Amino acid sequence: MVEYQEYAGRTAGSHAYFENSFANFAMGLSGEAGEVTDYLKKVVFHGHELDKQKLSEELGDVLWYIAALAITAGLSLEDIAWDNVTKLKKRYPDGFDSKRSIQRPAN
């Protein structure tokens, strides 16, 4: 993840280090997530065959914007990922459980 974030930072250029980049990268993330959603809508509801390469490319665009946002905020993707694992382990210690999901306290 460290190496990927370094490459993403190079393609983001100096823009990744300015606070006003948050809006640019957040909007880009939203747009790319929308492209993933639209593609999967076509697969699930329109009868298109799943093209894993196409999905991988779209998810890669989402990942790039996540990396750019993390760089702008001075965060590491590795730390973000492990913090998420810790949160999920606490929330679902035995794996996902729909009952626990419904009854969990609000954060």
pLDDT tens profile 27-74:
999 999 999 999 999 999 999 999 999 999 999 999 999 999 999 999
- What is the residue extent of each domain of the chain? 2-75, 77-107
Q: Which residues contact 72 (CB under 8 A, 6 or more apart)?
A: 16, 17, 18, 19, 21, 22, 25
Q: pTM of the full predicted structure?
A: 0.85
- CATH number for the domain whose boundaries are 2-75: 1.10.287
Predicted confidence at residue 17, as pLDDT, reads 62
Predicted confidence at residue 68, as pLDDT, reads 93
Q: Which residues contact 69 (CB under 8 A, 6 or more apart)?
A: 22, 25, 26, 29
DSSP letter at 18?
S
Greater confidence, 44 or 95?
A: 44
